[in-house]
Amino acid sequence: MTQIAIIRHGTTAWNKAGKLQGHSDIPLDEEGKLQAARLGQRLTAETWDLLYSSHLLRARQTAAIIAAETGIPEVIQDNRLGEAGGGLIEGTTEEERVKQWGEAWKTMDLGMESNEAIRSRGLAFIHELLAENAGKNILLVSHGSFIRQLLSVLVPDMPVTAMKNTSVTRLQFDQDTWNCALFNCVSHLE
């Protein structure tokens, strides 16, 4: 059985301001660093073989803190774990989007990455990961929209809600079947 724990990065100033981050390279804020450290401490109770991260700064910082806490020697970056591209809406709040493009902004071509493109790159990553690392315990640090899109394909019957910062979602892959053993858990913050 292969076990994959998918982690959303820690908080950023843009998270708190309600701004869509997308591909914008925003760093963790102090709270986000603390969240990542607490998660890293939680993960020391388990054995993890590999740690992958999105190439974006907020995910890389989260992964580096987890690596330091757990003693995992290397963080492997992969662009396919990056957040959904937001196009023209990056750096804006919902209120700003409605003001600039109207209530129907979600239906406009504003350069946002499609759900299909996100799922395609996510599945390509997962298939490669499983082929090369069957039976291992693997941590992935990524982003909310990316994680939701990936879960919608891997565990389609599971309702997926907004992902909390530094939440852990644990998937198990055994005999061609995905099982979600833990979803959106932030017990390390409580």
Within a 13 Å sphere around the CA of 173, how many CA atoms are in the beta-carbon half?
19
Greatest distance between any 2 Cα atoms in the chain: 50
Catalytic (active site) residue 143? no
Catalytic (active site) residue 55? no
Burial 61-78 (b: 16+ CB within 10 A, else e): bbbbbbbebbebeebebb
Q: Which residues pair with 8 in a beta bridge?
A: 142
Q: Which residues pair with 137 in a beta bridge?
A: 3
Q: One of 46, 74, 83, 90 is an active-site residue; which one?
A: 83
Q: Give CA–CA dist 10/66, Å, rounded.
A: 11
Q: Give CA–CA dist 73/76, Å, rounded.
A: 10
Q: Kindly give, in sequence order, each residue whose CB lies less than 8 Å from that of residue 188, ignoring residues fewer than 6 positions away.
A: 35, 38, 39, 41, 42, 166
Tokens of 161: 């809600």
Active site positions, annotated? 9, 83
